[in-house]
Structure formats: structure tokens, C-alpha cells
Amino acid sequence: MTEELTTSLREAERRLQAAQLAGDADALDDLLDDRLIYTGGPDGARYTKQDDLEIQRSRRQRLTKVEEEDLIVFVEGHTGVTWFLGTLQGTFAGTPFSARLNFTRTWLYTPDSGWRVIAAHASPA
């Protein structure tokens, strides 16, 4: 079961990356837990799921590149952690950016919802 959950978490992480690149708020809505707290945006602030979805829906953030260099996936029971290292490029509030970043995401699994991010942090690599 752990191997299956590890594979499905890796797939969920990559769906999240694709949704971020596409600015797909509906897909992100499915992948983010309602209690999400994300730390480390462009200003180092904390964001909720609703903040993230608003940023996507308003197109305040537009990604043109999400390039994964490394991805580590860990699963214990119905909790998972992903460590993503990669480059993101795009614009935020009209200002271009390019950054090599580390993301650490904590995921919860339920049979009804699958994997959903409950906590995330980003920092420069």
C-alpha cells in the first residue's frame, strides 16, 4: 500500500505543478486542503488556500515555466511530504521573476479526496 500511495503522491505533486503552470484554479482547488497555510511567497508572507486561488483566478501570478530538477517523496500512513527543487519563471503583479526554489509540501490522503496539500513552504535554493 505504501508504494501505491508514494506513486499517487508523486503524481499529485506533478498535477499540482501543472495546475500552477496553467493557472488552473479549479485543479488547485481539488489539490489544496481548505486549511492550507503556505509560507514563502514573493514577500515571505503566509497565504491561505483562498489567497492562492484568488491569485490564480485574478491572474496576478502567471507562470511561464515550472521546471523540476529534483523531487523527493515520503509517505507514512496517510501523510506525505514532497520536496521539490526547481525553477519557476513568470510574472507576479506584473513584475517578471525567475527563481530557483525549494518547496516543502505536507500532504494528507483520504480515500474520498486523494492527496491534498495542508502546509507548504518555499525558499530560495
Q: What are the pLDDT digits (tens) for 69-121?
A: 999 999 999 999 999 999 999 999 999 999 999 999 999 999 999 999 999 99
pLDDT on residue 42: 65
pLDDT one-digit tens code per residue, 8-24: 999 999 999 999 999 99
At residue 15, the 3 state secondary structure works out as: helix
- Domains in the chain, CATH or no CATH each: 2-124 (3.10.450.50)
Alpha-carbon span 26 to 29, nearest angstrom: 5
Alpha-carbon span 19 to 55, nearest angstrom: 13
Are the CB atoms for 66 and 84 separated by under 8 Å? no
Name the pTM for this structure.
0.93
pLDDT on residue 118: 98
